[in-house]
Amino acid sequence: MKHFVTTILSLGLTMAPLLGQTSGSLDLPQAETLALTNQPRMLAAQLRSRSIAERVKQARAGYMPTVNFNATGVQVADTGTAIAAGALATSALSGRFSYGGNLTQLVTDFGRTSALVGTAHYIAEAQSDLATLTRAQVRFNVRSAYYRVLGAEAVLRAAEAALANRRLISRQLTALAQSELRSTLDVNFAKVLESEAELAVVRAKSNVAQERSRLGTAMGGNQSVTAVLTDVAPAGEALPAAPDDLLPQASAQRADLNALEAQKNAAQSFAASEKRLNYPTLNVVGAAGQLPYHDHTLRDDYAAIGFNLTIPVFSGGLFTARRNEAELEAKARAQDVQQLHLQVNEEVRNSWYRADEAYRSLNVSARLVMQSKEALRLAQDRYDAGLGSIVELNEAQLNETFAEITAADATYTYLTRRAELDYAAGLLN
C-alpha cells in the first residue's frame, strides 16, 4: 500500500492514451484494467482508505507516553510579595528562569482507550470495504458500457443490412414500374420503407457514438473509445436454479453490506468507550529540569515523579447524554444493517429474474428471426406471383427487420443483466 498511489499514477500516465486510441482492438479485461487505473473515483477511494487508516494510529497513541519540553521565565519587580491576584498563593514570588521536561503515561482508564482503538479499527475497515465497493462499481459500469456498445453496433449492422435490402427492392420495383410491370404505388411503398430504414441507420449510428462516449467516461477518459471492441460470448455457465441460491454469497461478499456491518461495530465500540467516561483515569507523571537563573534559596535543578488519579464526580449530565447518544446510534446502525440485508436480497432476486428473462429470450429471438425470414420469403414469392399485395410484403419486411434487431440486441442485453446479477451478488469485488 505504501507505493500504491505512485504506481497507480504512473500506470495512468502510461495507459491513458489507450482510452482514445484510433486503431487496434480492446477487450473487456483491458477495459476494466484501464478503468481501475484511470478512474478518479478509484484513486480517491484508495486515498480515503489510507487516510482513515491513520485514525487507528491516532487512537493507539493514547497508550504511549507524552513528553513535553518547557522553558519558563519570570521577572518580579517586588520580591517581597507572597500572592498574586488571579493565581494561587505561593511561598514567594521571585524572578527565575527554568527549563525542563515533563512526562505523562497512562496507566489505566478502564478500557476507554482500548474501545476507541477498536472504534478506529472498525471505521478503517468500513472505509476499506467502501473502496472495494467502488472497485465493483467501476467494473460493473465498464462491463455495462462495453456490452451496450457491442449491442448498439449489432443493431447498427442489422439496420444497415435492412437498408441495403430495402434499397435493392426499391431499385427493382422502380425498374419494373418503368417497364409498366408494377404500379407506382408499389414503388412509393418501397421508397417509404427505404426512408424508414435509412432513418433507423441514422439513429443506430448516433446510439453507437453515445455508447462509445459512455464507455470512455466509464474507463476514466475524456474521449470516446474508438478502438474496435472484441466481441464477448454469453457466459458458459447457466444461471443458478433459483435466486435464493445466491443470497448467502451476497450476504458474505457484498462490500457495502460489509462496510455497514463494520460501521455498526464501530458504533458499538464507541458506545462502550462513552460508557467508560464515568470511570477513573490513572496516570504516572514526572518532571525534571534546570534553573540557571533563580532565587538563591532554590536548588539548581529539580525532579519529581508521582501519579494522578482523576475520578469523575459530576458532569452536569454530559457523560450520561453522550453515552445515551452513542448507544442509540449503535442500535440504529444495527437496524441499518438489517435494512440493507433486505435491500440486497431484493436486488439479487430482481437481477436474477431479469437475467433469466434475457437468457430465455435468446432462443426465442433466434426462432423469431428464422420465422420472420421464412414469412418474408413466402410474402416475396406471393408478391412475385401476383398473389400478394405490396402491403403484405412490406409488413413481412418490417417484421423481419424487427426480428433481426431484437436478436442482435438480445445477447448483449443478457450479458448486461448478468453483470447486474454479478454485482448484486458481490462477484465483482
Q: What is the CATH number of the domain that holds 387?
A: 1.20.1600.10
In a domain, 148, yes or no: yes
Cell reading at 228: 474496435
Give the count of domains, the chain: 1
User: Pick the residue with more confidence: 42 or 237?
Assistant: 42
**What pLDDT is stored for residue 384 in this prediction?**
80
Confidence of residue 1 (pLDDT cuts 50, 70, 90): very low
Q: What is the pLDDT of residues 3-52, one digit of tens each?
A: 434 444 444 434 444 444 435 899 999 999 999 999 999 999 999 999 99
In a domain, 3, yes or no: no
Mean pLDDT throughout 325-333?
Answer: 97
Q: Which of 327, 348, 138 is nearest to 243 (CA)?
A: 348
Confidence of residue 86 (pLDDT cuts 50, 70, 90): low
CA distance 152 to 150: 6
In a domain, 10, yes or no: no
Confidence of residue 78 (pLDDT cuts 50, 70, 90): low
Residue 202: CB atoms within 10 A of its CB come to: 11
Mean pLDDT throughout 205-214?
Answer: 95
In order of 17, 259, 325, the CA distances from 360 in angstroms are: 40, 35, 52
Structural domain that includes position 368: 28-71+95-424
Q: Rg of the Cα trace of the chain?
A: 38
In a domain, 6, yes or no: no
**What pLDDT is stored for residue 313 in this prediction?**
93
The answer to whether the Cα torsion of 176, 180, 181, 182 is positive or negative is positive
In a domain, 122, yes or no: yes
CA distance 405 to 81: 101
Q: How far apart are the first and last CA of the chain?
A: 18
CA distance 270 to 267: 5
Give ∠ CA 98-100-105 in degrees, rounded to 5: 145
pLDDT at 89 over 60: no
Q: What is the pLDDT of residues 58-67, one digit of tens each?
A: 999 999 999 9
In a domain, 88, yes or no: no
**What pLDDT is stored for residue 422 in this prediction?**
93
Confidence of residue 79 (pLDDT cuts 50, 70, 90): low
In order of 103, 163, 278, 387, the CA distances from 284 in angstroms are: 8, 89, 20, 108
Cβ-contact 186, 173 below 8 angstroms:
yes
Of 107-121, 160-174, 197-211, 262-276, least confident by mean pLDDT is 160-174
What secondary structure does DSSP assign to 110-140, as a single string? Answer: TTHHHHHHHHHHHHHHHHHHHHHHHHHHHHH
pLDDT at 75 over 60: yes
Residue 270: CB atoms within 10 A of its CB come to: 23
CA distance 407 to 411: 7
Q: What is the pLDDT of residues 292-321, one digit of tens each?
A: 876 666 678 888 999 999 999 999 999 999
Mean pLDDT throughout 129-145?
Answer: 96
In a domain, 21, yes or no: no
In a domain, 365, yes or no: yes
